[in-house]
């Protein structure tokens, strides 16, 4: 949370809390999101709620914070920024002896758009946030059982050993036989690498394949992090438009070395790459001697129709398949995997050795046990059903409330919502947050100069309780309506 109490102080505790909150506000931590609830802050600091309430009351009476219905407290940034000397008197800046600009390397990807997430999303009554899983939907009992077994003979060895650059053989086996098979993928153990989430897999693939001047293609709109990852290798990154059939494959330059795609559910629109485009993409890769980086981050979350097989299931040579357990277990576990040709896997393993060695042994073993016992499949089925209910609730409510034809999706955990003309996504996000609704702007998913940057919202539904969907979307619709009225004035 970033509110830190001094190690030693003679001031009363509530004053220390008050000063720490004020400092955090001045550091800009609460410019976009509400302050933590008194209960959350008291838990975090291991102090009583009364002490936190006293601190909040004092700040409220001085106008440093304001109280908002259904949101809680917010920083009154207008007052704080109008008294710049105030903080300096209390906390004189430390002398700066190191010129960090001289030491830090320039980042090739620095100017690219970035997703800014409000990780304090639980503070909102209507958290339509993408990519977060509420702890209440995590299969705690099954996971605890697997963790316990992972500490018993013979598993404890695999949980605690230093694996060097190798992976847990039981997890590799379970991935091969129980997870990848459902995507139509056949893989030998030497074609599989366990990673710290899909992100780590994308990073290792990019590092192993690209160098300065190589051309790589990303989707536009697309997952902003992949553009960062590819650009960090000093490759030339070419964004290619996406339409209702997915990536516009015909626009891919012939000189491309690596094509990064999300074919099952395009990020962020959720459209699937059409049958025809899939064929064209595989053909183009073969004709141009390109490789395809298939980011299949949430393929298990499909609620209607039959899933197309992974591209990797069709082309075992040119497709590098990246999967993850973040979306249907929890992102905090940081487990993903890559399936690719043995030559590439060996190189990625070598790269991984010098950064993280391997994913934590106990997490690998517990996950393997959970899949082996069938718990994982049971949990996944249940989770998929609950997400399907939310997906239906989202679709029918959005159709009714927003009344616009948004892109059809077959699954995923978010809906890509178009805004009326002249209404800006960033403005809607800010105003919605004030009214307790957390949604994300589509802007960072586009290149900086794209004309549609401000035209979409990404509305996630994995974290929000189903009963909050309709009232939350109603508030969102009001916000959009109000913004529209303002633009007409």
Ligand X SMILES: Cc1ncc(COP(=O)(O)O)c(C=O)c1O
Interface residues toward ligand X, by CB under 6 A: 131, 197-199, 223, 262, 267, 295, 297, 324, 326, 331, 336
Q: Which is nearer to ligand X, 326 or 441 (CB)?
A: 326
Q: Give which of 288, 223, 203, 269 is closest to 417, Cα–Cα.
A: 269
Return phi, psi of residue 246, to 5°: 95, -155
As a whole number of Å, the CA-based R_g of the chain is: 24
Q: Cβ of residue 298: shortest distance to ligand X, in angstroms?
A: 7
Q: Cβ of residue 57: shortest distance to ligand X, in angstroms?
A: 39
Q: Which is nearer to ligand X, 159 or 195 (CB)?
A: 195
Q: Cβ of residue 112: shortest distance to ligand X, in angstroms?
A: 15
Q: Which is nearer to ligand X, 45 or 464 (CB)?
A: 464
Q: Cβ of residue 303: shortest distance to ligand X, in angstroms?
A: 18
Q: Cβ of residue 196: shortest distance to ligand X, in angstroms?
A: 7
Whole-angstrom Cα distance, residue 224 to residue 217?
12
Whole-angstrom Cα distance, residue 111 to residue 212?
17
Q: Which is nearer to ligand X, 25 or 179 (CB)?
A: 179
Q: Cβ distance 35 to 73 under 8 Å?
A: yes
Q: Which is nearer to ligand X, 39 or 117 (CB)?
A: 117
Q: Which is nearer to ligand X, 21 or 209 (CB)?
A: 209
Q: Which is nearer to ligand X, 3 or 230 (CB)?
A: 230
Q: Cβ of residue 198: shortest distance to ligand X, in angstroms?
A: 4
**Chain-centre distance for alpha carbon 101:** 29
Q: Cβ of residue 101: shortest distance to ligand X, in angstroms?
A: 30
Q: Which is nearer to ligand X, 394 or 427 (CB)?
A: 394
Q: Cβ of residue 439: shortest distance to ligand X, in angstroms?
A: 16
Q: Cβ distance 338 to 178 under 8 Å?
A: no
Q: Cβ of residue 368: shortest distance to ligand X, in angstroms?
A: 17
Q: Cβ of residue 240: shortest distance to ligand X, in angstroms?
A: 16
Q: Which is nearer to ligand X, 72 or 411 (CB)?
A: 411
Q: Which is nearer to ligand X, 290 or 413 (CB)?
A: 413
Residue nearest to ligand X (CB): 197
Q: Which is nearer to ligand X, 51 or 324 (CB)?
A: 324
How many other β-carbons are positioned within 10 Å of the β-carbon of residue 130? 22
Whole-angstrom Cα distance, residue 287 to residue 418?
36
Q: Which is nearer to ligand X, 267 or 461 (CB)?
A: 267
Q: Cβ of residue 262: shortest distance to ligand X, in angstroms?
A: 5
Q: Cβ of residue 268: shortest distance to ligand X, in angstroms?
A: 8
Q: Which is nearer to ligand X, 38 or 326 (CB)?
A: 326
Q: What is the 3-state secondary structure (H, E, C) of the chain?
A: CCCCCCCCCCCCHHHHHHHHHHHHHHCCCCCCCCCCCHHHHHHHHCCCHHHHHHHHHHHHHCCCEEEECCCEEEECHHHHHCCHHHHHHHCCCCCCCCCHHHHCCCCCCCCCCCCCCCCCHHHCCEECCCCCCCHHHCCHHHHHHHHHHHCCCCHHHHHHCCCCCCCCHHHHHHHHHHHHHHHCCCCCHHHEEEECHHHHHHHHHHHHHCCCCCEEEEEECCCHHHHHHHHCCCCEEEEEEEECCEECHHHCCCCCCEEEECCCCCCCCCCCCCHHHHHHHHHHHHHHCCEEEEECCCCCCECCCCCCCCHHHHCCCCEEEEEECCCCCCHHHCCEEEECCHHHHHHHHHHHHCCCCCCCHHHHHHHHHHHHCCHHHHHHHHHHHHHHHHHHHHHHHHHHHCCCCCCCCCECCEEEEECCCCCCHHHHHHHHHHCCEECEECHHHCCCCCCCHHHEEEEECCCCCHHHHHHHHHHHHHHHHHHHHHHHC
Q: Cβ of residue 445: shortest distance to ligand X, in angstroms?
A: 10
């Amino acid at each position: 949370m970033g509110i830190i109490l001094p190690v030693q102080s003679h001031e009363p505790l509530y004053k220390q809390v008050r000063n720490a909150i004020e400092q955090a506000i001045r550091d800009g931590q609460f410019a976009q999101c509400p302050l933590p609830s008194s209960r959350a802050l008291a838990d975090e600091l291991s102090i009583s709620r009364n002490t936190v309430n006293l601190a909040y009351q004092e700040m409220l009476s001085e106008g440093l914070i304001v109280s908002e219905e259904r949101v809680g407290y917010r920083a009154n940034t207008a007052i704080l920024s109008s008294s710049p000397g105030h903080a300096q008197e209390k906390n004189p800046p430390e002398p700066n002896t190191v010129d960090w600009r001289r030491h830090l390397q320039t980042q090739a990807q620095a100017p690219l758009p970035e997703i800014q997430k409000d990780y304090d999303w639980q503070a909102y009554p209507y958290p339509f946030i993408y990519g977060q899983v509420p702890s209440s939907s995590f299969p705690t009992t099954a996971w605890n059982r697997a963790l316990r077994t992972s500490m018993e003979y013979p598993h404890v060895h695999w949980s605690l050993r230093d694996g060097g650059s190798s992976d847990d053989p039981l997890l590799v086996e379970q991935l091969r036989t129980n997870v990848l098979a459902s995507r139509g993928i056949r893989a030998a153990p030497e074609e599989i690498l366990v990673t710290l989430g899909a992100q780590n897999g994308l990073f290792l693939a990019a590092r192993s394949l690209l160098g300065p001047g190589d051309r790589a293609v990303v989707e536009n709109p697309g997952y902003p992090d992949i553009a960062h990852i590819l650009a960090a290798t000093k490759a030339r990154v070419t964004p290619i438009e996406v339409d209702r059939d997915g990536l516009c494959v015909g626009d891919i330059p012939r000189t491309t070395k690596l094509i990064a795609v999300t074919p099952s559910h395009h990020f962020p629109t959720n459209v699937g790459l059409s049958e025809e485009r899939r064929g064209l993409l595989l053909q183009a890769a073969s004709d141009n001697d390109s490789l395809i980086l298939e980011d299949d981050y949430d393929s298990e979350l499909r609620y209607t129709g039959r899933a197309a097989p992974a591209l990797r299931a069709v082309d075992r040579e040119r497709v590098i398949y990246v999967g993850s357990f973040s979306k249907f277990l929890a992102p905090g576990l940081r487990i993903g995997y890559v399936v690719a040709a043995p030559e590439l896997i060996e190189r990625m393993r070598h790269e991984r050795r010098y950064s993280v060695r391997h994913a934590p042994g106990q997490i690998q073993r517990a996950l393997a046990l959970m899949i082996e016992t069938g718990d994982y499949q049971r949990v996944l089925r249940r989770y998929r059903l609950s997400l399907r209910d939310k997906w239906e609730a989202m679709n029918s409510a959005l159709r009714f409330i927003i009344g616009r034809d948004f892109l059809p999706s077959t699954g995923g955990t978010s809906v890509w919502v178009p805004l009326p003309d002249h209404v800006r996504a960033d403005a809607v996000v800010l105003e919605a947050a004030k009214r307790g609704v957390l949604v994300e702007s589509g802007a960072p998913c586009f290149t900086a100069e794209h004309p549609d940057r401000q035209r979409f919202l990404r509305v996630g539904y994995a974290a929000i309780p189903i009963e909050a969907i309709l009232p939350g979307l109603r508030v969102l619709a009001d916000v959009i309506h109000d913004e529209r009225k303002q633009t007409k004035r």
